[in-house]
Every structure is written in structure tokens, then in C-alpha cells.
Amino acid sequence: MNYDCLIIGGGISGLTCGIRCQSAGLSTAILSAGMSALHFSSGSIDLIGYDRARRIVHSPFEYLKEFTGAMPDHPYAHCGVDTVREALVFLRDTLKAEELEIYDNGERNHFHVTGMGTLKPTYFSQRSVFNDSIRQAFERRAKIAVLNFEGYRDFYPELAISNLLKNELFKNVEIVTGRLVFPDYGDPEKNPFEYRSIDIARIFDTIQYLDEIAEQIKREAGDAEFVAMPAFIGINNYKKHHQILQMLTGKLIYEIPTLPPSILGMRLDDALKSRFADLGGVLIAGDKVMGGDFLDGVLDHVHTQNYGTTRLRARAFVLSTGSFFSGGLVSDSGGMREPVLNLRMSATSPRNTWYSPQFLDRKGHPFFEFGVETTGKLNPFDAEGKVIENMFCTGAILAHYNPIGEGSGGGVAVSTGYYAANQIIKACGK
């Protein structure tokens, strides 16, 4: 099999890269081993949320100018601020084409509420998580009702509210809670008290329960003007059903990201995959790259678990297999490595310095910053230290950034995927 571009890793970085390549007319394939980190994400895209002193960043692009100057190895410095901006516009337009509407705050960060009631600066959110009506209601100090299904184990409104009320922004806001009960739909095989967000999303996706749910929302929310619920208001029909629910209840209904599985992340995943397929991209799901061979200093082909001896060839390869969690990087008691091609890693310190003494250290642990070393063009080095010109690394596999500590995970994934695509398109003469 032969492609212009073969992308290994089907997370947000690989998908962004693939969509960009395919839309420029390159024949593109994405190999994906399984569910990506999107399924565990907040579903918002963070660009840069915190500066190096852990202060909140309000104008990310302005801050990035100074930041990339001071951090020359940072993936954002490799991409350049203009490319980062372009990449995010590209992502927003791509999602819009799939009718997934994104809220942006005109080049400024906004906050989304977390499941623990803390506020997180982010750049893009889905419109069910943040939009101008929510902002206005909030500015009016409108009463909020946080509603949850009775017995849903993965969200406890009381814990979130107690933290929210400690925030200056929520001073004098009245927040109440209420309980919804699952609509009666016979005797389900699975214990309803073990439902995860995905099970509840399926209920919302089914139109016949909406009236009953709307009645319950009205009753429980009382005179609250807006209603917050864990993000489980459907996957396939969420947009329509969200509107119907708002209409039936006369209330603003908005979603709070939950424990995984992340319905918000799954919507992004679905939209991006659908876009890639619509453009004619090839998605090879459930397969894993086992290794590859070089010819004349460039990567000639890779082979996978399922294709066995069949070689997958491409003019350019992208490795976006994620960090340790996703298996893009592995470690043992002796050190860390990149398992597919043994690419050169950034210098890693002794094992007892990989982590911070406190688990909840807000700076993030040092191990987050380890990863594959690349050139400014995102080309990795082979084990001998030679640059691999037809290969690019993007997303969480990269070294020199701290996705959670900086609040930059989504932004780096999208920007590096987009930046790699630009170079591949150019190299292929398109």
C-alpha cells in the first residue's frame, strides 16, 4: 500500500494533520490503535492557559509571542505563532463543516467550569459548554441549578458547588441542586446506577424521553434561569436535542465535562473522523505499527500488527502516537524510549526526578516534558542522531512542553499536526 502521507496515531493531532493533507489533495491514511485521548479529555481546546509563574493567561496569542521567544525548544516555537493561529482557525472551520459549533472569545481565553467546580482557562469550547447567552446570564448573576441523575456515580454537584462558590466570580450567585430520575424504559440489563456518561448520552439521543426529561428539569430547576448538567446530552443528536430541551424548558442548559468517557471529546472525535472520511481519507482503525525500515536515510515503510508482512509505504510519515498514556512513549525502571522506531528522546533525568513530590503539583510532573526530540521542522532523529527528513512527530509524543501545567495540550496537538501537514503538502508539490 502506498500513500502520499501515512499518519500513525488517530488522536486530535493526527486527525488535524490528516484532514489538512487530504484536503490539499494528498492521498492520506491514518492508522489508529484504539480510542484516542479525546475520549478522556475535557472536550475544550486549551491553547495556553497559564504562564510560567502559573498565572492565568487571558490573551494567549499575545503571550505566545513572548513565551516562544523564551522557550525556543517548545513545540509552539517550532510552529511559530502565526501557524498556531492558522491551525486553530482551520480546526474551528473543520468542525463547523461537521456542524459542531465552537465558541471562541475573539482571541481571548474564556473559562469553563470543571466537574470539581474549578475554573479552567481555555481557548475553544463547544457551544453547549460556553456561549454568549451563558456569559450574559452569568453576568446578570442569574440563578443556576446544577442537576444530575439520581445515582449517577461520576458527578457530585455538591462538591463542585462548594468550590465554585469560593471563586470571586461566583460571589452572590445562587446555585441550587436537583435530582433527575431515569425515565422508565423497562428493566434494563445494566444496573442504571452504574451508568457512565455514554449510557446516559444514549438516552438523550433518543427523542422519546425528551419530554419527560424536560418536565423533570423544569420541576427541579424551579426559577433558576440556567441549568448545568454533566456533559451527557447525547452524541449523535445532541445539537438538535439540546435545542429541543432548551425550548421545552425555557432555560439555558449547559454542560460540565465529566469523568471519562468524555462525551464532549467523543463529539470532537466523531466530527474529525467524519470530516477526514468525507474528504476521502483512509482510516485504518484497530491496528498497531510494529516497526519500520529505512532506505537511503528516509523511512521507506512501516509494518503493522494486522497487515503482517505487507508494507505500508508513503512519501511522508507522521508519528502522533501520544505520550506514555497512549503508548507513544514507554518507560521501564532503566529509562524511557520511543517504541516504534527508537527515535531519539530528549535528555531524561534520573528516575527519581521524573515526578514532583506532591501529586497535585499544578506545574505538572517533569515526566510530561520528556518525549521525542525534533528539529524545528518537527523531523525526529534516528538512533544514530541523523535527521529523518520524511518523518514528522506531532502532539503529545513531543518533548519540551507540559500539556496540563501550561494548559496547552490541545493547542500543541492541533498546531503541530497542522504545521507538519503544511510541510508535507509543500514537499509533495501540492
Name which of 191 and 208 has its Cβ closer to other proteins: 191
343 and 382 Cβ atoms separated by less than 8 Å: yes
Cβ closest to other proteins, residue 144 vs residue 161: 161
Positions that interact with other proteins (CB under 8 A)? 40-42, 114-116, 118-120, 151, 153-156, 158-159, 161-163, 166, 191-194, 257, 259-260, 323-325, 327, 330-333, 351-352, 354-355, 357-362, 364-365, 367-368, 403-404, 409
Q: Check: CB of residue 57 under 8 Å from CB of residue 121.
A: yes
DSSP string, 66-93: HHHHH-TTSHHHHH-HHHHHHHHHHHHH
CB of 167 to other proteins, least distance (A): 9
Whole-number Cα distances in Å, 88 to 185, 318, 406, 415 = 42, 19, 17, 7
Q: Show the cell assigned to 125.
A: 469550547
Q: Among residues 60 and 257, whose Cβ is nearest to other proteins? A: 257
Q: How far apart are CA 219 and CA 179, in angstroms?
A: 10
Encode 136-169: b = buried (16+ Cβ within 10 Å), e = exposed: ebbeeebbbbbbbbeebebbbbeebbeebeeeee
- The number of beta carbons lying within 10 Å of the beta carbon of residue 61 is 17
Q: How far is the CB of 42 from other proteins (least distance, A)?
A: 6
Least separation in angstroms between CB 289 and other proteins:
18
Q: Is 172 exposed, middle or buried (0-12, 13-18, 19+ CB in 10 A)?
A: exposed
CB 272 within 8 A of CB 15: yes
Query: Smallest distance, Å, CB 119 to other proteins?
Result: 7
Q: How far is the CB of 281 from other proteins (least distance, A)?
A: 28
Q: Which is nearer to other proteins, 172 or 358 (CB)?
A: 358
CA dihedral over 344, 350, 352, 357, signed as positive or negative: negative
Q: Closest CB to other proteins among 16 and 41?
A: 41
Q: Is 47 exposed, middle or buried (0-12, 13-18, 19+ CB in 10 A)?
A: buried
Q: How far is the CB of 218 from other proteins (least distance, A)?
A: 24
Q: Please state, as a whole number, how many other Cβ atoms lie within 10 Å of the Cβ of residue 11.
A: 28
Residue 315 or 351 having the CB closest to other proteins: 351
- Cis before 380? omega within 30: no
Nearer to other proteins, 141 or 166 (CB): 166
Nearer to other proteins, 183 or 327 (CB): 327
Q: How far is the CB of 164 from other proteins (least distance, A)?
A: 10
The nearer residue to other proteins, 50 or 392, going by C-beta atoms, is 50
Q: Determine which helix (DSSP H) or strand (DSSP E) holds 198, and give its type and residue range.
A: helix 197-205
Cα-to-chain-centroid distance, residue 73 = 22
Q: How far is the CB of 40 from other proteins (least distance, A)?
A: 7
Residue carrying C-alpha cell 498565572? 55
